[in-house]
């Protein structure tokens, strides 16, 4: 019998850390197509807003080749803590970033960023060392190739980080469809074309049932 403790993501105890999703760094992402990766990152951001999770934005050396934060993310979180690190490679080495994380009062940290083996792995490992539960959103994090990605995943897993996708994360946070069918369905439909077809069919069926009962 497994002794693995299944500690589910809890929307009341989770915060999202979006690390170094910068315009220059996006050019380094080759383990996903550009369109898929952008969609995944924005899907995670939409999920953070939908579940009203505290969200922290950070960049590294944005006046250099890494470039500024992807504008869509900044527009989605105009009031979120925004830490422009002057040079710290590991975001956890930046005092303002760590203060912002701890100020949320949350013990579950959801992390995604560019690149996976550095900007995600370093703060994820540092947070684990300080006792946080860490959930890495694999498809909203990108890097040079699958080899470097897999090495980073194995390193983080060995430290107790949990690897998830944005879709799995949203389902675990939501718990039960009856909590809000339309809201979660809209979130999925906006980022998964096949799910949009499914939900269009569902809405048509619901409309037909409603019309038949009048």
Q: Give the 3-state secondary structure of residue 56.
A: strand
Q: Give the 3-state secondary structure of residue 13.
A: coil
119 a catalytic residue: yes
Closest CA to 101 of 54, 63, 47: 54
Distance between CA atoms of residues 192 and 189, nearest Å: 5
Out of 119, 161, 171, 197, the active site residue is 119
Cross-strand bridge partners of residue 163:
136
Distance between CA atoms of residues 71 and 21, nearest Å: 10
- Which residues, in sequence order, are CB contacts of 37 under 8 Å at separation 6+? 26, 29, 139, 140, 142
Distance between CA atoms of residues 65 and 54, nearest Å: 28
Residues involved in catalysis = 119
């Amino acid at each position: 019998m497994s002794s693995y403790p299944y500690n589910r993501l809890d929307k009341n105890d989770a915060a999202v850390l979006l690390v170094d999703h910068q315009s220059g760094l996006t050019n380094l992402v080759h383990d996903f197509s550009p369109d898929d990766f952008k969609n995944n990152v924005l899907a995670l951001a939409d999920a953070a807003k939908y579940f009203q999770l505290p969200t922290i934005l950070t960049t590294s050396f944005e006046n250099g080749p890494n470039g500024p934060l992807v504008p869509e993310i900044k527009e989605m979180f105009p009031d979120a803590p925004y830490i422009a690190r002057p040079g710290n490679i590991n975001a956890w080495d930046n005092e303002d970033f760590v203060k912002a994380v701890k100020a949320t009062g949350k013990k579950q940290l959801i992390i995604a960023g560019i690149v996976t083996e550095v900007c995600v792995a370093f703060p994820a490992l540092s947070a684990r060392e300080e006792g946080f539960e860490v959930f890495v959103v694999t498809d909203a994090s990108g890097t040079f190739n699958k080899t470097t990605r897999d090495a980073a995943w194995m390193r983080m897993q060995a430290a107790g980080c949990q690897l998830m996708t944005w879709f799995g994360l949203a389902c675990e946070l939501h718990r039960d469809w009856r909590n809000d069918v339309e809201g979660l369905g809209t979130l999925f439909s906006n980022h998964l074309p096949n799910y949009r077809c499914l939900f269009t069919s569902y809405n048509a069926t619901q409309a037909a049932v409603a019309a038949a009962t009048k």
